[in-house]
């Protein structure tokens, strides 16, 4: 059994993987102020709730887009399991054909997502990861990672709208009953939810036009369930995509 941890800017997602089967997926808030021991306590509590024994792990792997936390989480894993985790980064075998200007600049989360998507879905693939940022990864018919798109996530955009204006209130991230808002709250919710859904659809159209063919569209990330149901395109939500990608990478590199 493998311990897989994905460290994001807002949440840390973790779970256990047996082969490519991921179980006990849990989230905890990302905090730069917690120590190795504090994270070890939190992770142990999560696994206790899921009935998982830390001594049962035979390996661990971490993907992180928060460099100051990478070694902290790795230290927490060592405290709990006695294992030295693999870290997704330079030197790790991925099997990806990365066709961007500087492959070393590709974020570990994008690498992990692309590896998992290629293992499960038909190419070409357009992969949305909806978290603090919304990222789009594009994989062509020859399984080449062509590049992608990075933009503010829906919560980040809404927060910027509220903080950058004098009279707009903080509103819940819920879809209104109609697109044409009849008050300030409905109007903000429409712009946030339906506006993001329209962006998703528009970007799919533009990317498919560049690819010259229809693509498989997949979405993951904590906010995908808020947005994808309001899209008119066929989009598969895959909640455990990144952890499954970590399991695949562990298998490629465990020797």
In 3-state terms, the chain is what percent helix, strand and coil (to 5)?
40, 25, 35
| Inter-residue contact 215 to 204 (CB < 8 Å) | yes
On the CB side of 73, how many CA atoms lie within 13 Å of its CA? Answer: 30
Residue 167, helix vs strand vs coil: coil
Find all residues with CB under 8 Å of 23, minimum gap 6, and list them: 15, 16, 17, 50
Q: Phi and psi dihedrals of 99, rounded to 5? A: -110, 45
Q: Which residues are catalytic?
A: 109
With tokens 């800017």, the residue in question is 9
Under DSSP, the state recorded for 13 is E
């Amino acid at each position: 059994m493998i311990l897989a941890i994905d460290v994001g800017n807002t949440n840390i997602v973790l779970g256990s993987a047996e082969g490519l089967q991921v179980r006990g997926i849990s989230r905890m808030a990302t905090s730069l102020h917690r120590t190795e021991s504090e994270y070890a306590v939190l992770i142990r509590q999560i696994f206790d709730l899921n009935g998982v024994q830390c001594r049962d792990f035979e390996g661990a792997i971490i993907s992180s887009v928060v460099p100051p936390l990478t070694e902290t989480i790795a230290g927490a894993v060592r405290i709990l399991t006695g294992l030295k985790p693999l870290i997704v980064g330079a030197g790790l075998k991925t099997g990806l054909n990365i066709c961007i200007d500087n492959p070393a600049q590709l974020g570990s989360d994008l690498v992990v997502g692309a590896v998992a998507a290629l293992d499960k879905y038909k190419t070409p693939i357009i992969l949305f990861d909806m978290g603090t940022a919304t990222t789009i990864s594009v994989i062509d018919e020859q399984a080449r990672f062509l590049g992608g798109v990075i933009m503010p996530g829906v919560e980040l955009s809404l927060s910027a709208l509220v903080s950058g204006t004098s009279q707009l209130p903080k509103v819940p991230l819920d879809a209104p009953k109609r697109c044409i808002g009849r008050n300030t709250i409905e109007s903000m919710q429409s712009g946030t939810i339906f506006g993001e859904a329209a962006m998703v659809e528009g970007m799919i159209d533009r990317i498919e036009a560049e690819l010259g063919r229809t693509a498989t569209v997949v979405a993951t990330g904590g906010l995908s369930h808020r947005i994808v149901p309001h899209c008119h395109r066929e989009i598969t939500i895959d909640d455990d995509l990144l952890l499954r990608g970590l399991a695949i990478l562990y298998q490629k590199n465990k020797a």
